[in-house]
Structures are given as structure tokens and as C-alpha cells.
């Protein structure tokens, strides 16, 4: 058979067997080209086979092995992360207690390491204990973080509550506390509803203000006499004046940058009173407690400051009534050292969800002993020792004669007004306070 006949037979066989014939090797079908015919034809089915494999996604054994190896490495490196992601992520609240000395308040200033806050240490402990991923620490909104109250520079707390979403790891409280300093403790944890917000769901806050009783001594008495003891008569007068704050009033004179016509200046005080005094390390102290729906910037410190000024004889009692009016009254601001957030209240939430069989009431009765122990170990000693060393109350009392209580702040003499403003700023910076932070972030 000649060459043309052989070629014809090959093409006939190809049509009969399909586009690829494994029994016919390339030697049979790749014939030598005739002169002038160009390149030799490709082996039968080679191009069609490649197209078919390309359409089916086949990438060859080398490519498959490389991808398998990469997946194995990725799985191995993220084994711990995947294990955590399988844990349930739930909305909870944490009961916190802390001593605020040395901290620039509660709220974290992301991106700023100049001023250390309580939340800086808290977020670091949450990440290191494995409760939240690291990127949630950088953007706290990712874990739906919210504090119940924003405390000022140097202000402590015995019952702060924060809400957030975390991985419910085993022994979660012990692991978080192991990464916190001893003066910051997580005392309790409870599950809450998915939409719970500790700031918005809080009905009221209770603060206490601890101060040496010589602050109530008459102005003619030695303002630094540690032997002073508060009489029953003076204590009765103090409580009578504190009771004047109860109810709804316009507290625009007890904060800054709020006018008398702003609705947010009206606040509701449920109770305010001074407890019986007690002696610590030879010095007598008293605790003033105040419960209100919410508080503005420096409001509590100014409420205490004005009562002290009246009892000492620097201001008349009538100044309290003038404070509710539209005129701006010069109200002194007590030091921030003795202010403590004692408790936050969730009455409405407890009524609706506290007994639904799924959630616990937020009353923290079981943690009360731990709260008391923390106050005795960290809060009271810090206030007492700092007062002895820095004499913040005694120094502040010496500024009271500079205030003009007989005239409004706007009508006071120019020089006197400048002196008062300067002294208030010095008090804020040098005596444990500051000129712009809030005691509580809540507002009505």
C-alpha cells in the first residue's frame, strides 16, 4: 500500500474510533511530512485532550499537590483560632471593681498611649485570656462594648458594669483576672439578652463620696485639724441640705457648658444623704451617698462642694434655691479623690427578663461580699492614704473664700471671676480632677 493509501486508512480509523485512540501511539499517526507540507500533524487527540482537561478544571498532579500542601499549612497555623471560633460568642455583662488612682478615667482612648485608662487594662486582659480576638481590642464596637458609667480621672468603682460579646471559654473569670492588676477585678458575669446595652438599660446609678469630716467644720476652725469630730447637730444639718437635691431640678449650675434652657440639664435625684462618720487611722471620715437616674460632668462633686461651702459658713442656704434659676451661680467643685461609683441599677430589665427562665436578674447579691472586701482592701485605703499624703481636701477648702456666693458668676467682679476660674482649673489638674471628663456617660 502506498503512502496515500496508508494515510487514508489512518483517517478512516480515527473517524471510527473517536477523537483519541490509545491503541494507536504517536508513532503510527505522526507520519513524516512530505516535502512542502509544513509541520507534521500533532498526535491524535493531543490538543482535544488538553482542551477537555482545561474545561474540566484539571490542573495536573503538581498543581494539586501544591494546593494540598498550602491548605495543610493553613489548617495547622489556624488550628487554635478555629477551635476558639467554634465556642459560642454571647452577650454578657461583667461586674467590675477598680481603684481609679493613677488612671485617666474609665473610657479608653484608642490610639493614645499618653493617658492610661481602666479600659486599656481590661481590653488587654480580654485579648490575652482568649475571650476576644485581637482586632476587637483595636475596635471595641466589634464586640458591642458599652460601659454603664464613664468615671472621671482618679475616680474609683465598686460596682461598674460593662456589656460585651465574648467567647465563653472555661474558667473565664479566673483567666481574665489573671491578666489584670490586683486593683482591677472582675467580680461577676451574667448572660443577658442579645440587644442589651449597659448604658441604655441602666435605670439609675449610685455613687458615694468619702471625705474627712473636718470639711464640715466652721470656717473659723482649723481646716486641717484631724482631731475634729462631726457632731450629731452638724450631721443633721448636712442631711437637711442634701435632701434639697432630691427630685427633678435644673442642674445647669452644677456642670459646665450647659445653659438653663437645655432639656438635658434637668436631672432626677432619687436620694442623697450622709451616713454616720467613722474613724480610720486617727482621722474621721463620712460617706455621702447619692442615687440618681444620670449625672452630668462634675455634677456630684459640685453638689458636695456647695453643701460644704454652706455648712462651713462661706455661702448662705438661699444659694441652693438660686441655683435652680436661670442665672449662672458660682458653685465650687470638690476634689475627685473621694468619688466612687458604688452600684448601677437595672430595675426595668429585671422585671422583664430577670425571671423569664433564660436570664438572671442583675442584682449581684451573691457578689456583695466580694464587693465589700474590695472596697476595704483597695478603695478606702487609697482614699485615706492619698488624702494624708496630698491633702487634697485641705487644699481645696483653702480656695473657698475666693468664690463669690452673693453674686452670679456673670456679675462677679472681673478679677474675682478670673481668679475663681483659674483656681477651678488648678483644682481639676492638681487635685485629682480634670477640666472636661464626665462622672457618668449616661444622659436623659
Report pLDDT digits (tens) over 255-265. Answer: 988 999 999 99
Q: Identify the CA nearest to 300 among candidates 311, 309, 291.
A: 291
pLDDT at 52: 53
Res 21 pLDDT > 80 = no
Give the separation between CA 333 and CA 405, rounded to whole angstroms.
13
Q: Which of 65-79, 92-106, 138-152, 399-413 has the highest mean pLDDT?
A: 92-106
Tell me which DSSP letter residue 68 carries.
H
User: Could you tell me the domains of the chain?
Assistant: 89-201 (3.30.70.580), 204-345+377-397 (3.30.70.660)
pLDDT at 159: 96
Report yes or no: 180 and 262 within 8 Å, Cβ to Cβ: no
pLDDT at 48: 56
pLDDT at 218: 94
- Poorest-confidence range of 29-38, 71-80, 195-204, 321-330? 29-38
Give the separation between CA 58 and CA 65, rounded to whole angstroms.
12
pLDDT at 15: 65
What average pLDDT does the segment 173-193 reach? 96
- Poorest-confidence range of 80-94, 246-260, 377-391? 80-94
Report yes or no: 142 and 126 within 8 Å, Cβ to Cβ: no
Res 246 pLDDT > 70 = yes
Report yes or no: 193 and 165 within 8 Å, Cβ to Cβ: no
- What is 138-180 written as a DSSP string? H-GGGGT-EES--PPTT-EEEEEEEEEEEE--TTHHHHHHTTS
pLDDT in tens, 351-367: 999 888 888 899 999 99
How many Cα neighbours within 13 Å face the side chain of 443?
11
Output the known binding site for substrate.
207
Catalytic positions, please?
Answer: 152
pLDDT in tens, 210-240: 999 999 999 998 777 889 999 999 999 999 9
**Average pLDDT over the chain, rounded to an integer:** 81
- Poorest-confidence range of 59-63, 77-81, 97-101, 345-349? 77-81
What average pLDDT does the segment 201-213 reach? 96
pLDDT at 89: 83
Percentage, residues of the chain above pLDDT 70? 71
Give the separation between CA 204 and CA 383, rounded to whole angstroms.
25
- Poorest-confidence range of 106-120, 181-195, 283-297, 399-413? 399-413
- Adjacent-strand bridge partners of 205: 292, 344
Single pTM value for the model: 0.73
pLDDT at 50: 54
pLDDT at 114: 76
**Which residue did the predictor score with more confidence, 202 or 89?**
202
Report yes or no: 134 and 142 within 8 Å, Cβ to Cβ: no
* Mode of pairing for the β-strands spanning 156-167 and 247-250: unpaired
* Mode of pairing for the β-strands spanning 278-280 and 283-292: antiparallel
pLDDT in tens, 37-63: 444 455 545 555 555 555 554 555 555
What average pLDDT does the segment 323-343 reach? 94
Amino acid at each position: 500500500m502506498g503512502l496515500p493509501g496508508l494515510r487514508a486508512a489512518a483517517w478512516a480509523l480515527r473517524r471510527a474510533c473517536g477523537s483519541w485512540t490509545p491503541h494507536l501511539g504517536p508513532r503510527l499517526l505522526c507520519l513524516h511530512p512530505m516535502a512542502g507540507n509544513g509541520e507534521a500533524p500533532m498526535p491524535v487527540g493531543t490538543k482535544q485532550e488538553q482542551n477537555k482537561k482545561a474545561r474540566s478544571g484539571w490542573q495536573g498532579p503538581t498543581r494539586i499537590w501544591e494546593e494540598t500542601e498550602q491548605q495543610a499549612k493553613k489548617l495547622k497555623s489556624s488550628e487554635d483560632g478555629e477551635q476558639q471560633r467554634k465556642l459560642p460568642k454571647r452577650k454578657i455583662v461583667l461586674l467590675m471593681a477598680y481603684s481609679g488612682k493613677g488612671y485617666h478615667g474609665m473610657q479608653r482612648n484608642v490610639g493614645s498611649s499618653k493617658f492610661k485608662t481602666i479600659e486599656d487594662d481590661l481590653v488587654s486582659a480580654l485579648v490575652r485570656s482568649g475571650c476576644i480576638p485581637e482586632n476587637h481590642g483595636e475596635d471595641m464596637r466589634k464586640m458591642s462594648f458599652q460601659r454603664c458609667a464613664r468615671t472621671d480621672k482618679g475616680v474609683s468603682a465598686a460596682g461598674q458594669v460593662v456589656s460585651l460579646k465574648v467567647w465563653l471559654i472555661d474558667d473565664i473569670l479566673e483567666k481574665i483576672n489573671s491578666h489584670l492588676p490586683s486593683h482591677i477585678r472582675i467580680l461577676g458575669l451574667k448572660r443577658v439578652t442579645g440587644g442589651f446595652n449597659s448604658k441604655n438599660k441602666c435605670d439609675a446609678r449610685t455613687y458615694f463620696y468619702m471625705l474627712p469630716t473636718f470639711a464640715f467644720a466652721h470656717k473659723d476652725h482649723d481646716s486641717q485639724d484631724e482631731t475634729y469630730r462631726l457632731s450629731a447637730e452638724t450631721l443633721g444639718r448636712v442631711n437637711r441640705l442634701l435632701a434639697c437635691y432630691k427630685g427633678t431640678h435644673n442642674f445647669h449650675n452644677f456642670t459646665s457648658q450647659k445653659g438653663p434652657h437645655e432639656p438635658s440639664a434637668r436631672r432626677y435625684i432619687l436620694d442623697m444623704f450622709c451616713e454616720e462618720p467613722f474613724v480610720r487611722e486617727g482621722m474621721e471620715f463620712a460617706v455621702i451617698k447619692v442615687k440618681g437616674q444620670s449625672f452630668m460632668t462634675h455634677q456630684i462633686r459640685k453638689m458636695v462642694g456647695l453643701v460644704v461651702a454652706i455648712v462651713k459658713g462661706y455661702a448662705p442656704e438661699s444659694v441652693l434655691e438660686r441655683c435652680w434659676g436661670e442665672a449662672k451661680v458660682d458653685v465650687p467643685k470638690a476634689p475627685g479623690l473621694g468619688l466612687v461609683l458604688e452600684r448601677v441599677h437595672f430595675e426595668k430589665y429585671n422585671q422583664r427578663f430577670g425571671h423569664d427562665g433564660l436570664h438572671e436578674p442583675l442584682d449581684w447579691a451573691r457578689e456583695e461580699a466580694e464587693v465589700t472586701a474590695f472596697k476595704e482592701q483597695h478603695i478606702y485605703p487609697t482614699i485615706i492614704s492619698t488624702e494624708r499624703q496630698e491633702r487634697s481636701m485641705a487644699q481645696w477648702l483653702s480656695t473657698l473664700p475666693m468664690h463669690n456666693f452673693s453674686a452670679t458668676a456673670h456679675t462677679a467682679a472681673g478679677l474675682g471671676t478670673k481668679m475663681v476660674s483659674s483656681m477651678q482649673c488648678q483644682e481639676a489638674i492638681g487635685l485629682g480632677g480634670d477640666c472636661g471628663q464626665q462622672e457618668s456617660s449616661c444622659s436623659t
